[in-house]
Amino acid sequence: MTKTLTARRARLMGPNVPTFYRTPIHIVRGQGVHLWDAGGKQYLDCYNNVPHVGHCHPAVIKAIAGQAAILNTHTRYHHDLVLDYIEQLTARLNHGISQCIMTCTGSEANDIALRMAQAVTGKIGVIATDNTYHGNTAATSALSSRRPPIGGYPSHVRLVPAPDSLRNPDPDGAILAGHIQAAIDDLNAKGIGFSGMMLCPAFANEGIPTVAPGFFAKAEAVIRNAGGLILCDEVQPGFGRMGSHFWGHDWLGLTPDVVTVGKPMANGHPVAAVLARPDVMAAFRNAFGYFNTFGGNPVSAAACLATLQVIDDEALQANAAKTSAYVMDRLRALSHPLLAEVRGVGMFFGAEFVTDADNTPATAFVEDLVEVMVAKGFILNRIGRAGNTLKIRPPLPFNTDHADQLVDALQDALRSTPVPA
Amino acid sequence: MTKTLTARRARLMGPNVPTFYRTPIHIVRGQGVHLWDAGGKQYLDCYNNVPHVGHCHPAVIKAIAGQAAILNTHTRYHHDLVLDYIEQLTARLNHGISQCIMTCTGSEANDIALRMAQAVTGKIGVIATDNTYHGNTAATSALSSRRPPIGGYPSHVRLVPAPDSLRNPDPDGAILAGHIQAAIDDLNAKGIGFSGMMLCPAFANEGIPTVAPGFFAKAEAVIRNAGGLILCDEVQPGFGRMGSHFWGHDWLGLTPDVVTVGKPMANGHPVAAVLARPDVMAAFRNAFGYFNTFGGNPVSAAACLATLQVIDDEALQANAAKTSAYVMDRLRALSHPLLAEVRGVGMFFGAEFVTDADNTPATAFVEDLVEVMVAKGFILNRIGRAGNTLKIRPPLPFNTDHADQLVDALQDALRSTPVPA
């Protein structure tokens, strides 16, 4: 069946369509933190962040099905639900951020955020790290370093070395701030100018390097001093995943000008948003007549409202905090000759494996380890520049019992996965 | 209540957020071709194309609710539904177009289509008309002429004069072809090169000018001769709206390299797609590791499959053909001193009003006319460069009875709307 599906995918979708794992899994059902494949095998989902409050949460489904039967149209007509949601969402934000544009994807949201910085500053230069992902539109893919954008990197983009707590410790962020200053200086010297920097405050795509609150303070000063905006991509860290804080930027301790959020906000229903201060919003909206046909439609708004309610009702942020501490304790107790660093913040966890004292990535070993874990029924994956960091990022209902199942299995897998000679 | 909602919108969404009509309407319910406002007033929807098979169609809702309760995840795992849908959709396309990327919005789809042309040709220059809309991302907004993109029009975009059957008759498309040739020559002369042209084959945003099948043949020859691709934006004309044909490009008689489709394909659920020949798909996918988190997720695929089934089960394309002919007959029978041209193709209708023999747009009159129609309970709008063309683009279940209601009301409205002195 897998072979047939692989062949059908190649025929209908073309080449180079990504799947996870050496033998792609064929998932047919999900509930809470569990997934099941076509053969009936159960998996513990230790990876998917989009089903934020758990796969197929009944409250979110009820909201979608209920509103879809009443009305689904766009914001060129008045409707309460989108306003109710923006009111509730902005009430959870500080830093004067009180206005919102609803979109359908995080890519669309980040594409707008980049233009907000350009509208405010009148400049176009933008900075991101060199090991990240902020979306798949032409504009946002220019910030994504996995593969160069078609046509090459545009002249207005500068990618600075991503934090790497194992190889380049930078406890007070001075190294990163220096790279950002150099990029700004270069943009200015070339007459391009600097509009802002986009970052995920958990550095989730960078491999979840160990950084402490305050890490970005020096960088923030450099950006402010140059008149740039800080665009926080909260698609992964937002909505309570950090445990101690509702937002990644409040955990890291920085003041964003623009915040973007994505599909976890509606548990997977295609919705996303850009949030900004009124002055930033006005600069964008007066420069460009933006309209998104289905951004903020009543069904998406209902799905968002339900998801926010579940986060509160089920105290999922508190669960993230509790589970996070528990997982970190258990991961830190692991021992393996290739294990170089165990990292984590909130419901993001990483374990980096290297083959020697020079921190050569143990990519093949981690690839094998992931396959062993999937065979055992645990869905997780790899991250980092060389793909040698185990990536664990479960839905928020993941609790300490699930954590025990995961780390017990990981202990076994570490024993059974052959270490390269 | 409207005042409160207007104030809340301004506070929560910022300035310059578009609404329809002088006093925005507050729609709370939809069913089939009808909408209802918060005061219980019923409207006949003669405008919205996204609820393609009718507002709140039970078969589509059932598909969404049913699949949402089973599984909603992404295409990095195998799943049948997305493949089933692509198979059914590509079976309706000719011209060797057999592969698909699923996205969440038409903007995302067009953003990819532009990059496909760049990946195939190795050039970046792109042409569109100067009175159109192809999306709201940074890349696609550069083709949208309503307001200049932030940072100004990029150097690789050329906007050619849109067809205007009233002011610049061009029955065989020679004038348009000449403009396209000139734009290509300019792109080549400036060393930018030409990758392709994006167009809506119904010229829906251009004001639905009267063009006949074959109109684009000369332009197509010019584009082919220059090695460019034809990117057909079928977000509006696709899925049977043309009546005589399932696709706008087959009605116009051109051969696209890439076809994009949008939310009408799932009756408003946020889904869209790019369809291409395997050679075009391979050029793109091998140049760029595109992945769209929720493009083609099982819920979106289920919504798409259900919508396609309803189009067939309810013979909506045939209904579009029948209703279209009927509406055109009735519109052509209208008489009004300012009515310059009645136009239409499939379920797109336009009526252009001018104040004098020089075809000066009767913008204020049409604005008043729309308001009178909305007050009577008929939802429609304006289109065209000066907004002086009445725009009628109903959901496909719109039938001849609805057409009678609409045109009877329009007759009354034409009598009662004051003609400017």
pLDDT tens per residue across span A25-46: 999 999 999 999 999 999 999 9
pLDDT tens profile A54-67 = 999 999 999 999 99
Q: Which residue of B has its CA nearest to A106?
A: B293
What distance lies between CA B312 and its chain's CA centroid?
21
Nearest Cα of chain A lies from the Cα of B14 at a distance, in angstroms, of 6
Cβ proximity of B115 and B124 under 8 Å: no
Q: Is B106 on the interface with A (CB under 8 A)?
A: yes
List the one residue out of B320, B49, B339, B316 whose CA is nearest residue B204.
B49
A353 Cα distance to chain centroid: 22
Looking at chain A, which residue has its C-alpha nearest residue B279? A14
| Strand bridging mode A378-379 / A42-45 | parallel
B-interface mutation test, from A104, A140, A297, A300, most B Cβ less than 10 A away: A104
Q: Which residues of A touch B292 (CB under 8 A)?
A: 105, 107, 136
**The residue count for chain B:** 421
Interface probe, candidates A19, A53, A294, chain B, greatest B C-beta count within 10 A:
A294
Strand partners, A343: A350
* Residue A2 touches chain B, beta carbons under 8 Å: yes
Considering only CA atoms, which of B380, B385, B299, B378 is closest in space to residue B347?
B380
The answer to whether A108 contacts B19, with C-beta atoms less than 8 Å apart, is no
And the tokens for B75?
């295409």
- Determine if residue A227 is left, alpha or beta; phi over 0 gives left, psi from -120 to 50 gives alpha, anything else beta: left
Distance from CA of A186 to the nearest CA of B (A): 20
CATH 3.40.640.10 residue spans of chain A: 58-313
Chain A contacts in chain B segment 245-264 (CB below 8 A): 262-263
Structure confidence at residue A293 (pLDDT): 84
Using CA atoms, how far residue A220 sits from A174, A249, A255, A372, B153, in Å, is 11, 12, 8, 42, 31
Distance of CA B282 to the CA centre of its chain: 27
**Contact A107/B at CB under 8 A:** yes
pLDDT at res. B329: 98
pLDDT of residue B144: 80
Backbone Cα Rg of chain B:
21
Question: Could you say which residues from 47 to 76 on chain A have a Cβ atom under 8 Å away from some Cβ of chain B?
Answer: 48, 50-51, 55-56, 58, 60-61, 64-65, 68-76
**Residue (of A53, A113, A385, A87) closest to A234 by Cα position:** A113
B83·A268 Cβ contact <8 A: no
pLDDT band at A196 (very low <50, low <70, confident <90, very high): very high
Which A-chain residues 271-290 have CB contacts (< 8 A) with chain B? 271, 276, 278, 281-282, 284-290
Tens digit of each residue's pLDDT (9 = 90 or more) over A308-320? 999 999 999 999 9
Superfamily of domain B2-53+315-416: Aspartate Aminotransferase, domain 1 (3.90.1150.10)
**Domain at B58-313: CATH code:** 3.40.640.10
Q: Do A18 and B76 touch (CB under 8 A)?
A: yes
Distance CA(A345)–CA(A39), nearest Å, equals 35
Q: In this complex, which of B35, B76, B105 lies closest to A104 when CB atoms are compared?
A: B105
> Which residues of chain B are within 8 Å of residue A71 when distances are taken between CB atoms?
27-30, 35, 55-56
CB atoms B65 and A61 under 8 Å: yes
Give B281's contacts in chain A (Cβ within 8 Å).
13-15
Residues 179 through 208 of chain A touching chain B, CB cutoff 8 Å: none
For residue B285, give the nearest of A16, A35, A118 by CB distance.
A16
What tens digit of pLDDT does each residue of A326-335 get? 999 999 999 9
CB contact A111 to B (< 8 Å): yes
The whole-number pLDDT of residue B202 equals 97
Side chain identity at residue A13, one-letter code: M
Residues 22-41 of B with CB under 8 A from A: 24-30, 35
Buried b (16+ CB within 10 A) or exposed e, A328-364: bebbeeeebebbbbbbbbbbbbbbbbbbeeebebbbe
Least CB–CB distance from A77: residue in B20, B70, B138: B20
Q: Does A376 touch chain B (CB under 8 A)?
A: no
Nearest CA in chain A to B110: A137
pLDDT at A294 over 90: no
Phi, psi of A37 (to 5 degrees): -95, 180
Question: Using the beta-carbon criterion (under 8 Å), do B136 and A108 form an inter-chain contact?
Answer: yes
Nearest chain A alpha carbon to B28: A71
Q: Which residue of B has its CA nearest to A379?
A: B77
Q: Which of A72, A138, A147 lies at the smallest CB-CB distance from B111?
A: A138
- Name the amino acid, one letter, at A50: V
For the stretch A114-148, what's the b/e string if a residue is b when 16 or more beta carbons lie within 10 angstroms of its beta carbon? Answer: bbbbbbbbebbbbbbbebbbbbbbbbbbbbbbeee
Contact across the interface for A119 and B150, Cβ inside 8 Å:
yes
pLDDT attached to residue A377: 98
Residue A280 CA: distances (Å) to CA of A102, A259, A283: 15, 11, 5
Q: Where in chain A is the domain with CATH 3.90.1150.10?
A: 2-53+315-416
Amino acid at A139: A
10-residue mean pLDDT series, chain B (421 residues): 88 93 95 98 98 98 97 93 98 98 97 97 96 94 79 88 95 98 98 97 94 97 98 98 98 98 96 98 92 92 98 98 98 97 97 95 97 98 94 98 98 94 72
How many C-beta atoms surround the C-beta of residue B264 within 10 A? 28
B64 contacts A136? CB cut-off 8 A = no
Question: How confident is the model at residue A144, as a pLDDT?
Answer: 80
Q: Do B294 and A105 touch (CB under 8 A)?
A: yes
Which tens digits make up the pLDDT trace of A388-402? Answer: 999 999 999 999 999
Query: Among A114-118, A212-216, A236-240, B1-5, whose mean pLDDT is lowest?
Result: B1-5
Q: Quick one: B416 exposed, middle or buried, by C-beta within 10 A (0-12, 13-18, 19+)?
A: exposed
Other Cβ atoms within 10 Å of B172 Cβ, number: 12
Question: Which among A25, A78, A141 has the least Cβ separation from residue B2?
Answer: A78
Nearest beta carbon to residue A285 from set B15, B35, B278: B15
**Are B78 and A111 inside 8 Å of each other by CB?**
no
Closest Cβ–Cβ partner in A12, A18, A288 for B147: A288
Interface contact A27-B64, CB threshold 8 A: no
Name the residue of chain A whose CA is nearest to B2's CA: A78
User: Over pLDDT 70: what percentage of chain A?
Assistant: 99
**Nearest beta carbon to residue A147 from set B114, B137, B289:** B289
Q: What pLDDT, in 10s, does the model give residues A124-151?
A: 999 999 999 999 999 999 998 767 777 7
Strands (DSSP E) found in B107-185: 125-129, 157-160
Q: Is the pLDDT of residue A413 over 80?
A: yes
Quickly state the pLDDT bin for A289 (edges 50, 70, 90).
confident
Does B150 sit within 8 Å of A118, measured CB to CB?
yes
Distance, CA of A104 to CA of A83 (rounded, Å): 16
Which chain B residue has its CA at the smallest distance from A32's CA? B71
